[in-house]
Structure 1
Amino acid sequence: MFTSNVTKELEACARENFEYSDRILNLAYNDLATKLSPADKGVLVQAEKEWLAYKDATCQGAYDATSPGAEVGIDKWTCLDQITRARTEEIQYLNTGIGALGFYKALDIVPTLYENGLREKFTSKLTDIFSKKEDKNWHSYVEANCKLAVARVHEDKSDCIARQVFYRY
């Protein structure tokens, strides 16, 4: 297999992007962890373990899908970067209650276009998708993460689950 210098440079760039995103995630995670009760911190740790397993499996899947192609490394590092950025946004939301605006805008717009204006119908469809997914790690991550969202930002659990499905990589 031939790998050009450009491909190697792109892979190195994708890796650097991920490493930067991972550092930002760790800062956000540690900041949130310092503000939690011991019980909520335990939930955060469990959610993070499940998220890490989900992230690794998902990005290994991206790698496997393109292997042995020359861009396989780019695909994997880009996947890791995107999922890590999404997790950082989620941690920041749990920490401050700020974020998830795209989902809540969609929650106002999509039902008017497709569900006769019934917001609950849209969230119900998203939570149905969640209940049918067989990815144990992602499912456990969402359950733990939504437990924190309910406690920290007073988000309705079904809205949290629907939001996780909406934003899922």
Structure 2
Amino acid sequence: MRLPIKIFILYFLLVFGYVVAEGKCNPESVKAKDIMACIHMSHSIIDGMLNDRYSVILKKENFPYGSTLKEGERLWMAYRDSKCKYIYESIYPGMEAEVERESCLLSLTYSRLLELIYIESSVRDTSLERLLMRTEWRERYDSLDAGTMGVEESAYFMKNCELVGALYGESKENCMKRMWVQNL
């Protein structure tokens, strides 16, 4: 595992462990308010890490794609808000609606953080590649239809794939599929 990923994991474990130890989150509880407290705490940590990575990348003097990254970030926020609102509205007035919406925000924020780590360092999560080494999963992956995306999702993915294509030469098709799976 490369150094940036190791640092990220260590930082997350230290911060998460400290907050849980302080009693602000009870991961054993099944009460909605306790679940929400844990989700909020986790989201706050991941969102802070996301904002830090975003700022670090933009401040790099040798990073020539600042405007593309900014546009991609705006598109990601529109995608995140749209997808999580849809999830909330499809469950409301069910008791789980708020938990599902907040879980969606956490999940998509984490996915964006992983993407920014990739953009910054060319280190990406290789679990998808390892999974695709198995024939049955490769066939399913190859049959994915990225054309079924929503407008916000497609706009964000296209802009991000433009950026990683320019940085690392990843094909648009592979990038779109990778991001689609990463953001499920």
**1:66-85, aligned counterparts within 5 Å?**
66-85=91-110
Q: 1:71 offset after TM fit, Å?
A: 2.6
Q: Is the 8 A contact 1:63 1:76 kept in 2?
A: yes
Among 127, 132, 137, the residue aligned to 2:152 = 137
Distance 1:15 1:101, change over 3 A: same
What displacement does 1:141 show? 0.8
Structure 1 residue 7 displacement after superposition: 1.6
Corresponding residue number in structure 2 for 1:119 = none
1:164 aligns with 2:179: yes
Report the RMSD for the aligned CA atoms in angstroms.
2.2
Q: When you count helix as a share of all residues, which structure comes out higher?
A: 1
* Unaligned segments of structure 2, at least 5 residues: 1-29
Report the secondary structure of 2:74's partner residue. Answer: helix
Relative CO higher for 1 or 2, CA cutoff 8 Å, sep ≥ 6? 1
Aligned to 2:51: 26
CA contact (8 A) 2:131 2:137 kept: no
Contact persistence 1:95–1:152 (CA under 8 A): no
**CA-CA distance at 1:166 after TM superposition:** 2.1
Q: 1:90 to 1:68 in 2, by over 3 A?
A: same
Alignment partner, residue 56 of structure 1: 81
Alignment of 1:122-133 (within 5 A): 122-123=141-142, 125-126=143-144, 129-130=145-146, 132-133=147-148
Matched residue count: 153
State, as a whole percentage, how many aligned pairs show the same letter: 24
- State the alpha-carbon separation in 1 of the partners of residues 173 and 139 from structure 2: 19
Pair 114,136 (structure 1): closer, same or farther in 2 beyond 3 Å: closer
Partner residue, 2:8: none
- TM superposition shift of 1:90: 0.6
How far apart are residue 82 of structure 1 and its match? 0.7
- Structure 1 53/113 Cα, relative in aligned 2: closer, same or farther at 3 Å? closer
Q: Secondary structure at the match of 2:94?
A: coil
Cα deviation for residue 113 of structure 1 reads 6.4
1:100 to 125, 145, 164: 125
Counterpart residue identity of residue 69, structure 2: L
Matched residue, 1:155: 170
Q: Do 2:79 and 2:153's aligned partners in 1 also have CA atoms closer than 8 Å?
A: yes
Instruction: Give 1:6 shift.
Output: 2.5
Q: What TM-score, normalized by structure 2, do the two folds share?
A: 0.74
Where does structure 1 lack aligned partners over 5 or more consecutive residues? 116-121
Once the two structures are overlaid, the 10-residue window that deviates more, 74-83 or 152-161, is 152-161
The yes-or-no answer on 1:146 pairing with 2:161 is yes
Q: Give the match for residue 19 of structure 2.
A: none
SS of the aligned residue for 2:93 comes to coil
